[in-house]
Structure 1
């Protein structure tokens, strides 16, 4: 530990907060990406209550799950510029580019072909001087306007694609809204013309936009470069930034399908629900899913390929969220080389640090919201095309054909740069803390199963992929690799899980990879409306994901032990809601 790492190190363990507030550390941020869900009932209320209830009770929420207040404030102001009455009949979503807004319209049209979605663009007027135009260009945004009755479909796009306007963008744009020119696909909409302006003060960050983005891309490149000197180093030109990790995944899927020889995609192993949705509902014609990525699954995939079936791409997570198992990447790579398909790997749980995955994948996808940032106050995603891939040129061309730098707001990139300064040190400390917590939980009598790489059946594969820094390697400033900060706990029964969660006095809510320890009932958060289906594949409703942070490890363990001590292993508290292990709730 050094003096410059102290600002990201919580002086004491963070405690639970009221529902709907944000967990952020360091505290000086005005933006949050993790909603507090302090008890089991609050998890259920989040999904069962009305939209208006959520709007009234939530200060901050994970941005893909919810439209946060700064964005709603800008949307209302934009409606006033468009002279659209606030009578509840119309709704809108805001995006950084017209492309995202049009994609939203097409998504809505799949379920509601009878509905017309209006696309409105707020942009810098063409007659402004260069300095004014530059400031206003960053304030610009697009909106999709639609009848309120199709809002559910629009919100599905917002959640699954992850391209919505960020709160920093909205907070900046609202100060310049009256100076922006607006154009609409509906010529009947009356638009208030922009106010004239001859000069604007230029925020200091505007001068550093390109340098800041280059710094973040270069940092990611250094972290992801393979250890072997025989493989090409990753450079900033191989890295593209996106507003969220899911946005990076969506764009990768589209680009890979555009150049693939066949339109069949495979999801191998447990993969985040939104990724599966995008693969099934994106440009691919056929989807093949292997839920757990077992040896039997690998044999079945091999059999298909040898029988003549061809696939264009295979998507996987390493380690998987939430089972924390590791796919046999070396064997998958051998199949990909033989049958010429693309491997796209989401390494968000790994966060670049512990595993050397680049030698085995063609495309690396990462949510920068997690360990790369750590502060829980900004979203971001990255996409790396491996320069050693035989598909490199085709994939890069397909990605660049659609890429727009304006999809990522500069102040979000600035936050990523600031937050990522100590990512190696943070990862190493979290590795050590998490291993200590896992050892404490592994043989606990109330725990049915602990999912953590150190205790997983795939440990040998994990070890074969671990970074091994040695003299002459390419990675800069490498630290000792570990087993990550994320684990999940399946308790003996649902009542114990609920008692544990309700009494645990630490941050509880969405996200992981944070500077602070945070827990959440994963199946409720991610699979609330398809819990019976995922339970059939071994994901019970009462699984608790724990992301271990930077706090003093004895303080973390004490909080968990205190919650465990309050659990009754023989019977649950009266009125406990949930299901027993193995049951399916109907």
Structure 2
């Protein structure tokens, strides 16, 4: 009897398993997810490593404790670690924080008073802007001072060549010069640096409105709210006539339009031809989060002025590096000064760059395999009696828009979201795929998207109405299709027939 390749992964196990630098964590039951969202003591004992912008890595906790003792810091202060001293300036200036003691470390440290609302605000802000300290930097520091006895063993590119390999791979993928690419310690930090740059530019040209097109990733929307007092949101990307009417009135006040191609989690693609023409009419920069598309699925060169990609996802493929990139389009008709965006950027830790440089060499091959698997999985879902709705990049309403951008006939985004005709909790609990946050992994990864991203909306009547208004199903599973044998992936989904 053949051994099944998918098996139950206990709650709290890292994804990938046995990897201290993993950015995802197993939440195998819907109750695990609910307990995590409600922060029950039992779940917090199990989940010690998760997406680093949401849960503090255990090495960062150890490092904060060590620094507290090293600098004799009072218990009335919380030690908060940041990616750099530049990050300290950003956070400190927003929350008027001034360390009362001199702290000299090769990364950022701020002291925030315990028992105040400020601490939670600071931690939330860091989550949104992505200035997180690298777990690999913390690991090296702790090893050097003898707090931990061994380092995680992993494949790394040579230190002297790693950054060049990483940047050149991205330059080739995006068909851009290397000077137009900048790395960041997270994908959200890339988005923050772009939006902060746009904010600086708008102060000079009186364009005060930022347009958000589509239901964007949670923290992108949070950054928009932090930095743009005036913003306009168009939830339905299929109704560009509403945007057009708005631009007729206020187009010359718009500093940029931000969107995702395709959108997360409903995998919808806007009519980029029409959108770009609108941008051209009013000289508006178009910022595209290309994480889902990847430069190997879609050609966005004729449309994007600025790309933002979370390299943590498909570029890494193993969910064990937090990193992002900003890519400025050389062919853009909008005049940009790269320093306006790159000046806010932090250099990722060298070992993260080494790891990403090793992983990115298989980027194209990985995406092509995932694309092929996704096509076959969608065809299976179309005939499956237990499926209610399928959201994928070639769904009829958006197919023409997507096809115009495809690099080849296999270039389908590796994300599929589905709802079911069967009990959602039973379906989720009984599937043995890896289940947790993140996407773009070589292993198939499921996420109950609305529960993990918008639990606050699920738990209120007003929130439920809003979710209905934007057509975001509560009982939706987002599937990040992996590179495993497609027959095995389908075989695992077949279990739903017997639930």
Compute the TM-score of the two structures, normalised by the length of structure 1. Answer: 0.77
CA contact (8 A) 2:308 2:327 kept: yes
Equivalent residues of 1:385, 1:392 under 8 A apart: no
> What SS does the aligned partner of 2:25 have?
coil
Alignment match of 1:269 (pick from 214, 225, 231):
214
The one of 337, 345, 353 equivalent to 1:403 is 345
SS in 2 for 1:360: coil
The CA RMSD measured in Å over matched residues stands at 2.3
Match of 1:237 in 2: 179
2:172 paired with 1:222: yes
1:489 corresponds to which residue? 418
Match of 1:554 in 2: 487
Deviation at 1:285, TM superposition (A): 3.2
- 1:164-203 equivalence runs, <5 A: 164-176=132-144
Q: Is the 8 A contact 1:119 1:143 kept in 2?
A: no
In 2, Cα distance between equivalents of 1:97 and 1:314:
29
**Residue 250 of structure 1: aligned partner:** 192
Task: Decide whether the 8 Å contact of 1:119 with 1:144 is kept in 2.
Answer: no
- The alignment status of 1:92 with 2:79, answered yes or no, reads yes
Please name the residue that 1:384 is paired with.
327
Structure-2 residue corresponding to 1:375: 318
Task: Choose 548-557 or 532-541, whichever is displaced more.
Answer: 532-541
**Aligned CA distance change for structure 1 residues 156 and 560 (closer, same or farther; 3 Å):** same
Question: Residues 348 and 121 of structure 1: is their aligned pair in 2 closer, same or farther, counting only changes over 3 Å?
Answer: farther
Structure 1 counterpart of 2:246: 304
**Partner residue, 1:506:** 433
Within the alignment, does 1:519 sit opposite 2:446 as a pair?
A: yes
Q: 1:62 aligns with which of 29, 46, 51?
A: 51
Q: Which residue of 2 aligns with 1:529?
A: 456
Partner Cα separation in structure 1 for residue 471 and residue 315 of structure 2: 30
> 1:556-586: per-residue Cα shift (whole Å, max 9, x none)?
1111111x1233xxxxxxxxxxxxxxxxxxx
Partner of 1:413: 353
- For residue 324 of structure 1, report the CA deviation from its aligned partner: 0.3
TM-score with structure 2 setting the length = 0.90
1:74 corresponds to: 63
Q: Quick check: which has more Rg, 1 or 2?
A: 1
Is the 8 Å Cα contact of residues 521 and 545 (structure 1) preserved in structure 2? yes
2:10 is the counterpart of 1:42: no
Deviates more, 1:52-61 or 1:521-530: 52-61
SS in structure 2 of the partner of residue 453 of structure 1? coil
Residue pairs, 1:434-449, within 5 angstroms: 434-449=374-389
Q: Does 1:336 align with 2:279?
A: yes
Counterparts of 2:298 and 2:88 in 1: how far apart (Å)? 37
Runs of 5+ unmatched residues, structure 2 = 147-154
Q: Could you give the per-residue CA deviations for residues 171-228 of structure 1, whole angstroms, max 9, x where no partner exists?
A: 01224469xxxxxxxxxxxxxxxxxxxxxxxxxx999545311210110111112xxx
Equivalent residues of 1:107, 1:153 under 8 A apart: no
Question: How far does residue 461 in structure 1 lie from its aligned partner after superposition?
Answer: 0.7
Which one of the candidate residues 550, 558, 565 is aligned to 2:497?
565
What SS does the aligned partner of 2:88 have? helix
CA distance, structure 2, for counterparts of residue 545 and residue 91 of structure 1? 36
> Structure 2 CA distance, aligned partners of 1:485 and 1:119?
49
Match status 1:292 vs 2:236: yes
Query: SS of 2:15's equivalent?
Result: coil
Question: Which ranges of structure 1 fall in alignment gaps of 5 or more residues?
Answer: 1-10, 110-114, 124-139, 179-204, 226-233, 469-479, 568-586
- 1:122 paired to 2:65: no
Question: Out of 64, 72, 89, which is 1:102 matched to?
Answer: 89
Alignment deviations for residues 41-77 of structure 1 (CA, whole Å, 9 cap, x no partner): 0001112125x65553223201111101011111110
Change (3 A) 1:120 1:369: farther
Q: What is the match of residue 112 of structure 1?
A: none
Distance 1:545 1:409, change over 3 A: same
Rounded Cα–Cα distance in structure 2 between residues aligned with 1:171 and 1:344: 35
Q: Which of 135, 144, 148 matches 2:110?
A: 144
- Distance (whole Å) between structure 1 residues aligned to residue 317 and residue 382 of structure 2: 26
**Cα gap change, 1:539 to 1:206, in 2 (>3 Å):** closer
Per-residue CA deviations over 1:313-359 (Å, capped at 9, x if unaligned) read 00000011101010111111111111011100001111221100122
| Change beyond 3 A, Cα 1:309–1:334 | closer
CA distance in 2 between counterparts of 1:107 and 1:540 reads: 36
Match of 1:459 among 378, 399, 414: 399
Q: 1:33 maps to what in 2?
A: 23
In 1, Cα distance between equivalents of 2:221 and 2:132: 19
Conservation of the 8 A alpha-carbon contact between 2:71 and 2:103: no
